[in-house]
Structure 1
Amino acid sequence: MSMEKISKVEESLRKTLGLKKMINRWQILHTRCLWQMMLNQRRNLYGTLRMQRTMEQEMALANKQLLMVRQAALHQLFEKETRQYQQELNQMGKAFYVERL
């Protein structure tokens, strides 16, 4: 073979090796990208589950607090009605029996 042909073959071989390296790098990057996407999906799943648990806990605490507020309002209503009933009885000349300790 002549020197020109040898140099052309070597140049072609270098290009082929360069393309092969580029394809290998692309495959490695593609694999890493898929792996990273899979990890992100797992993290998002766990994050979603953690957020759901937090929301459930917050709802339970909100329900307890709402119950306490409703009980306090009911207690105030009973006290108000009791005072009103005592006033009505006092106007009629009657009274409640209150046991004092």
Structure 2
Amino acid sequence: MSLENTRVEENFQRAVELKKIARWQDSHAHCLWDMTLSQRRYPYALLRIQDTIGQELALANKQLLMVRRAALHQLYEKEYQQYQQELNQMGKAFYVERL
């Protein structure tokens, strides 16, 4: 009986080991599937990221242009006021047409 018990236990251990191997193979196959899936998605994600970066750059350039225009306008206004003050000190003035 002890010989049969040891054989049954050995068979049971083999079955457990086979199940572990089967689980490992399943998880390995699942990991490989996930990797190939992410590799298939990678070019599309890259295109989406590039498109987003392009849109952000376009908006940043537009915003930078607006800021530069506002700064230039302030500079012109400041120079115009300074020029007007210098002319007033000399007793001269700009002709301004009023409607």
Give the SS at the match of 1:69: helix
Structure 1, unmatched stretches of 5+, are: 1-17
Amino acid at match of 2:65: L
Structure 2, unmatched stretches of 5+, are: 1-14, 16-20
Q: Structure 2 length normalisation: TM-score?
A: 0.68
Deviations, residues 40-66 of structure 1 (Å, cap 9, x unaligned): 112122112111111110110000000
Q: Is 1:62 the counterpart of 2:47 in the alignment?
A: no
Partner of 2:49: 51
Q: CA RMSD in A?
A: 3.4
Q: Structure 1 length normalisation: TM-score?
A: 0.67
Sequence identity (%): 73
The Cα shift of 1:31 comes to 5.7
Partner of 1:78: 76
Partner of 2:88: 90
Partner of 2:35: 37
Give the SS at the match of 1:42: helix
Distance of 1:44 and 1:86 partners within structure 2: 62
Partner of 1:3: none
Distance of 2:22 and 2:89 partners within structure 1: 99
How many residues were matched structurally? 97
Distance of 1:93 and 1:25 partners within structure 2: 97
Give the SS at the match of 2:92: coil
